[in-house]
Amino acid sequence: MLTQIGRPVCGFFGNGWKPRPLFKGAGALSYVSTQRMFGRIQGILELMREFAVFWGCTIQTRFPFIEKSTRIVLEAFKLPYRDVDGFTCCPEKSLVNNVDHGMFTLTAARNVALVDELDCDLVSPCTGCVSNLATVESELNANPKEKDHVNSFLKQVGREFKGKAKLSHLVPFFHDTVGLHAIKRMMKKDFSGMKIALHYGCHMIRPSHALKNDDPLIPKKFDNIIRAMGAESLEFPTKLMCCGQGLDRIDQHEMALHFARIKLRELKAIGADALVLCCPSCFLQFDNNQFLMEKEGEKYGIPVIYFTELLGLSMGYSPDELGMTAHRVDCMPFVKKWESLGEKASRDEDLSEGLNVTGAEGLG
Amino acid sequence: MEASLNLKLLEMCSKCGACFSICPSCVNIPGYDPREVIKDILDGSHEKWINSKHIWECLECHYCLEMCYQHYGFENAMTAMRTIAAKRGVHPTQVKRGWEMFVKTSRLGEPAIPARKKLGLPEAKGSGAEEFKKLYALLKESREKGRGHGGKTE
Ligand code: SF4
Ligand code: SF4
């Protein structure tokens, strides 16, 4: 099985095919294929391209605990991430683009230029940030005249937008680059027996011409990860419905609550143990706004868990370490139910040989 | 018009309506109907929408864009209306506040320092606000100069 993996891959490299995430050469893979599982994963991760983390305003201003769980996970996986000096707001499309499209483009281009200069990629735990940056990057890459125009400004502050950096949201990044296999390998206990309702967040996958990471109308990657983690990923009619947080930004708080209510009602009815997501705006909508409704006597009791928190829990970190005690809606019902379920029998049991070279790059 | 739209595509759009039923705002917000707005744009009577709260209710979820056989989407019409409204200063208070904070600080909020300390997070990186402000000044300056030339970054 292992040699079968080796050969076509060497062929790929021989033909000048450059995978991103990068394995730097065929030698690396044959080295990898001779190691034990842990060694393999580590070998791959060491050769991964460095990436800047774009935290974005909302996480750093309102939810630093999301940064905490994200850092814990990135460290534990030994991923080559870095912090970058000088990022501004991505910027937020609904606020900035409606008022001044030129400034929207220029600001995003400058952020991408910072990453271009470092010759690395970018990963963000915020869907909005990635979507906005990728929208501008793809627009400028498709339009050389506009790109030149933007660069004529950037040049005056000593920068250049090249549009080369790969921009990823954390979830597709874990799916495609880290791989399901590595995720499974890092887990101490899976989520068998837990019913999870996923909320993708519109901007994780749309606009697809800019993000190019999943099917924009029937996305699968987040589900794949959750299922690989052993949980049941529930199907329900409002699964892909927009969270509606944007309504809170245009002075329509009641309507924002109405949107939250539609989904929360459904989740309660189908017995979801938690709502799992990976976007600070969606988090704000379902955690904070759910809490506000709870205070008014409208109780749904749906814990809202960030992807990195879920991953961290499965790796053995405590809710406290992961900063989950800072949520407005109590997460403990989820954690307690999970803890009461039996230990995962044997974590290596379901790792099938022959699927060893991470999940999604189609190398197997 | 103070914003640009492809009227040919809008014409097709007015005969289609396919994305209406998957637009979260169309389905859940009474009175939100981009089809009406588009009809009025084509008739040249869109003025009444500029002050309407409905044009801000598009969530920019891009569902219509993905669904659209023209890859155009309701959202383009709504964005154009919002751009005009913002130019005339009739946009929602929170949008105004957000924009002001953005141009002043380059961000929509500053890192929460005490909470970071408590969580044991490293010091947050600087924001590049000075460079950002310089760029904004340069952009405004070039608009001043280029007035009448129809610069692309308008
Ligand atoms: S982008 Fe706006 S108009 Fe289009 S589907 Fe979403 S809410 Fe509706
Ligand atoms: S935006 Fe596209 S899909 Fe929607 S009604 Fe118009 S043409 Fe049809």
Strand partners for A121: A51
Closest CA to A97 of B113, B69, B146, B153: B153
A154 and A205 Cβ atoms separated by less than 8 Å: no
User: How confident is the prediction for chain B on average, in pLDDT?
Assistant: 92
Whether B40 and B115 share a structural domain: no
* Sequence ranges of chain A with CATH classification 1.20.1050.140: 2-170
Last residue of a domain, one of B40, B72, B87: B87
pLDDT number for residue A171: 98
B138 and A149 Cβ atoms separated by less than 8 Å: no
pLDDT number for residue A44: 58
pLDDT digits (tens, 9 = 90+) for B18-43: 999 999 999 999 999 999 999 999 99
Whether B64 and B107 share a structural domain: no
Whether B99 and B78 share a structural domain: no
pLDDT digits (tens, 9 = 90+) for B48-96: 999 999 999 999 999 999 999 999 989 999 999 999 999 999 999 999 9
Atom of ligand 1 nearest to the CA of B34: 3
pLDDT number for residue B1: 56
Asked if the Cβ–Cβ distance from B57 to A255 is below 8 Å, we say: yes
> Which residues of B fall within a CB distance of 8 Å from A206?
61-63, 65-66
pLDDT number for residue A14: 33
Whether B99 and B142 share a structural domain: yes
Closest ligand relative to A246 C-alpha? 1
Distance B66 CA to ligand 2 centre (A): 10
With tokens 């019902």, the residue in question is A333
Task: Write down the pTM of the prediction.
Answer: 0.87
Per-residue pLDDT of chain A (364 residues; tens, 9 = 90+): 333 333 333 333 333 333 444 333 333 444 444 444 555 555 555 678 999 999 999 999 999 999 999 999 999 999 999 999 999 999 999 889 999 999 999 999 999 999 999 999 999 999 999 999 999 999 999 999 999 999 999 999 999 999 999 999 999 999 999 999 999 999 999 999 999 999 999 999 999 999 999 999 999 999 999 999 999 999 999 999 999 999 999 999 999 999 999 999 999 999 999 999 999 999 999 999 999 999 999 999 999 999 999 999 999 999 999 999 999 999 999 999 999 997 544 444 454 444 444 444 433 3
pLDDT number for residue B83: 95
Last residue of a domain, one of B66, B87, B108: B87
Which site among A63, A100, A101 would you substitute to test the B interface, given the most B Cβ atoms closer than 10 Å to its Cβ? A100
**Class level of CATH domain A188-343:** alpha beta
Whether B118 and B142 share a structural domain: yes
Whether B8 and B76 share a structural domain: yes
Nearest to A216 among B66, B103, B116 (CB): B66
> Which residues of B fall within a CB distance of 8 Å from A144?
none
Q: How far apart are CA A272 and CA A267, in angstroms?
A: 5
Whether B8 and B74 share a structural domain: yes
Domain range for residue B128? 93-148
Q: Which two tokens stand for residue A164?
A: 């080369």
Whether B75 and B133 share a structural domain: no
B110 and A58 Cβ atoms separated by less than 8 Å: no
Closest CA to A280 of A53, A59, A55: A59
With tokens 């009791």, the residue in question is A301
pLDDT number for residue A94: 87
Asked if the Cβ–Cβ distance from B153 to A105 is below 8 Å, we say: yes
pLDDT number for residue A40: 53
Is 1.20.1050.140 the CATH number for A2-170?
yes
Classify A81 as helix, strand or coil: strand
Residue B18 within a domain? yes
**Domain count of the fold of chain B:** 2
Closest CA to B60 of B69, B73, B51: B73
Residue B154 within a domain? no
Confidence class for position B9, pLDDT limits 50, 70, 90: very high
Distance from CA of A32 to the nearest CA of B (A): 34
* Sequence ranges of chain A with CATH classification 3.40.50.11810: 188-343
Last residue of a domain, one of B35, B64, B87: B87
Whether B43 and B100 share a structural domain: no
